[in-house]
Structure 1
């Protein structure tokens, strides 16, 4: 049911994006953590099975890109360039994270990013992706790819 609702929301957002209706707002408070304070300490301690994500091997980053642009559906909101300007992202308020923002990457721990992929982001259009859409391993690979946007 959760996956069905996510798909319906995404299709509605894409339909609005294609209609020229502009609802999107910019990403609000990009430096503000989105993991609830009660979970933040635990989230910050979570570690990727691939080591530090910004140092992930090229093959892991490439697999993350395939998931980001494919079954993970991340590209629909975050855009092909990771800038939060995907077709569905353009109608979200607040807008999706801009993964090209290097200040954001420096401020957030890998575990915090993983928590969001697994649990969603309260107050935003970001829904839980694990296990409805991707596996935990897939989630870490996507995050390795997202970290690579700051290196481009």
Structure 2
């Protein structure tokens, strides 16, 4: 009886852990990462930098360098294939159209709960550098090649 109880508890623990991990993931890759109460305000946030190639180039240096974005999001922006919640595919035009620059900055400042996306702004890059990375990420829009 004791063995059965121990096995049962072990199975229950595994189920709970798997459920918690699955619940942490977002139901859709298109779902906003910003909490509902903050979303409208964050969506209205705009970059202080006008779109310029100079900032795209600076963003690329950070993406491939100290920002370490390339580690998960790959050279071509499609995201490295990892178990669990996949890193964002920046070539996805639908995702690019749905997400505002303010939302992207929020993720850089707060990470993306339920995913492996860490906080970047304030830890390894500045807020200005974050805005430049966002301009670089926008350059991936529509780069996806459909099979």
Q: With the length of structure 2 as denominator, give the TM-score of the two structures.
A: 0.75
- Unaligned 5+ segments in structure 2 are 1-25
List per-residue Cα deviations over 1:20-76 (Å, max 9, x = no partner).
xxxxxxx9622111111122122111110113xxxx111110110000000000000
Root-mean-square deviation over aligned CA pairs:
1.5
Q: Which residue of 2 aligns with 1:61?
A: 56
User: Which of 128, 131, 141 does residue 137 from structure 1 map onto?
Assistant: 128
CA contact (8 A) 1:28 1:94 kept: no
Displacement over 2 Å in runs of 4+:
none
SS for the counterpart of 1:59 is helix
Partners of 1:73 and 1:28 in 2: CA distance: 26
Partners of 1:39 and 1:69 in 2: CA distance: 30
Task: Say which one has the larger Rg.
Answer: 2
Q: With the length of structure 1 as denominator, give the TM-score of the two structures.
A: 0.73
CA contact (8 A) 2:92 2:142 kept: no
Question: How many residue pairs align between the two structures?
Answer: 118
Offset, 1:109? 1.0
Partners of 2:142 and 2:53 in 1: CA distance: 13
